[in-house]
Structure 1
Amino acid sequence: MLDATMRRLIDPALNRMGRALAARRVPADTVTLIGLGLGLVSAAMIALGWPLAALAPLLASRLADGLDGAVARASEKTDFGGYLDITADFLFYGAVPLGFVLHDPAGNGAAGAFLLCSFYVNGASFLGYAILAERHRMETTARGAKSLYFTGGLLEGTETIAFLAALCLWPAAFPPLAWVFGALCFVTAGSRVLLAFRVFG
């Protein structure tokens, strides 16, 4: 819901940093992999019981996730780069909740499973829509120039990052936050299915 607004705020700074990295011949895929590595470090720290300390690599990971596209736009965009980026994103978004489940399976297991199921369904609705949009030659830059067609929704990247940061700040609240956020993810997926029916049905 907030991604389009956030992109207008952060893109100028990201594009400046992206041009600087591209001038130093830093590949966009390298930035993507660094961001993924930071995200997995964050998830591991959560699993070990250090959620507050995990917040720093988590946020750095999301900064890298924004930078890789800026580097690609300043140098060379590739289909593989877009593919690698979305795959890394999905791994990151699954790894952080998994870290909370691994840290406390008894307390966080059910809520974590529900949350991951909602991510799975939401991701499927997102990628399925992107495939159909590509087939119909649809384009949008509302959420920045992307390799895939990005549909809006109740929950987008901005809300998800804020949610994961909140989990790091208040780890004891993982179960209720996960149940609520997971339910909202299902609402987002359902609204996207309805949108697909209206557009492609």
Structure 2
Amino acid sequence: MLDASARALLARPLEAAAAAIDRPHVTPDRLTVAGLALGVAAAGAAAMQLWGVALTLWLVSRLADGLDGTLARRRRARAPRGDQSRESHAGGFLDITADFVAYGSTVVGVAIGAANQFDAPWWPFLLVLLTYYVNGTAFLAFSSIAERTGRTLDDGRSLSFLGRIAEGTETIAVHALWMIVPFWSWQIALGWSVFVAVSAAQRIIVGYLRLR
């Protein structure tokens, strides 16, 4: 729901940051891997109840995740045409895979930390993982079929995203909120699972109608 607004708001700062780090040894794929490593580290810190450390690692990991695409587009504008497509596909695959691992890891990390420190129940976090699974299946299946049938949605990203009420910006914010108020994390997880489930239902319906 907020991704388009967030991209417009952050476009210029990210462009400036990408220009500053645009060096031969800094590549979009390395930024993606760094973001993944930091995201998993955030999950580990949350599991150990190091909430401030987890929050810092999480936010820096998402900054790296935002910079990889910006740097990729900057490099692609200068690359030969054949290399543009190949690098874009490989980088897009790596990026979405890293995002799913980072998101899933932090759900598990927060669940472990909150259960150990606050006796939080596990089942709301399991609901979040279930809704992530359904939501991810819907938009990845749509993107794949849309690509094959020539019905892609081009918003500058590697995949055809069906934007709904739960997108990347909301996910980053909710995961950060878990680490800011971990004593309320399971209640937030319960509400978030409903939010993501509604988004998944929207994607399934809209995706089906668009592909008919």
Give the TM-score band, short-chain normalised: over 0.9
Alpha-carbon distance in 2 for matches of 1:53, 1:119? 25
TM-fit CA distance, 1:132: 1.9
Aligned to 2:121, what secondary structure does the other structure show?
helix
Alpha-carbon distance in 2 for matches of 1:50, 1:173? 16
Aligned match for 2:153, one of 104, 128, 139: 139
Alpha-carbon distance in 2 for matches of 1:139, 1:179? 31
1:73-92 equivalences in 2 (<5 Å): 73-76=73-76, 77=84, 78=87, 79-92=89-102
Aligned to 2:122, what secondary structure does the other structure show?
helix
Partner of residue 180, structure 2: 169
Alpha-carbon distance in 2 for matches of 1:108, 1:95? 17
TM-fit CA distance, 1:173: 0.8
State the Cα deviation string for residues 36-89 of structure 1 (Å, max 9, x = none): 111111100000011232111100000000000111111145111110000000
Alpha-carbon distance in 1 for matches of 2:171, 2:120? 22
Alpha-carbon distance in 2 for matches of 1:190, 1:60? 31
Gaps of 5+ in 2: 77-83
Aligned match for 1:125, one of 138, 160, 179: 138
Gaps of 5+ in 1: none
Report the TM-score, using the length of structure 2 for normalisation: 0.88
Amino acid in the other structure paired with 1:149: S
Amino acid in the other structure paired with 1:140: D
Aligned to 2:138, what secondary structure does the other structure show?
helix
Identity in percent: 35
Aligned match for 1:185, one of 186, 190, 196: 196
Amino acid in the other structure paired with 1:8: A
Alpha-carbon distance in 1 for matches of 2:63, 2:7? 12
- Please identify runs of 4+ aligned residues in structure 1 that moved more than 6 A: none
Aligned to 1:108, what secondary structure does the other structure show?
coil
Larger mean CA deviation between 19-28 and 82-91 belongs to: 19-28
Aligned to 1:75, what secondary structure does the other structure show?
helix
Alpha-carbon distance in 2 for matches of 1:23, 1:122? 36
State the Cα deviation string for residues 133-176 of structure 1 (Å, max 9, x = none): 212322321xxx21111111011011111101110111011111
Partner of residue 79, structure 2: none
Larger mean CA deviation between 126-135 and 159-168 belongs to: 126-135
Alpha-carbon distance in 2 for matches of 1:13, 1:184? 30
Partner of residue 51, structure 2: 51
* Structure 1 vs Structure 2 CA RMSD: 1.4
Please say if residues 110 and 179 of structure 2, whose CA atoms lie closer than 8 Å, have aligned partners that are also in contact. Answer: no
Q: Is 1:111 matched up with 2:124?
A: yes
Please say if residues 39 and 58 of structure 1, whose CA atoms lie closer than 8 Å, have aligned partners that are also in contact. Answer: yes
Report the TM-score, using the length of structure 1 for normalisation: 0.93
Alpha-carbon distance in 1 for matches of 2:22, 2:167? 27
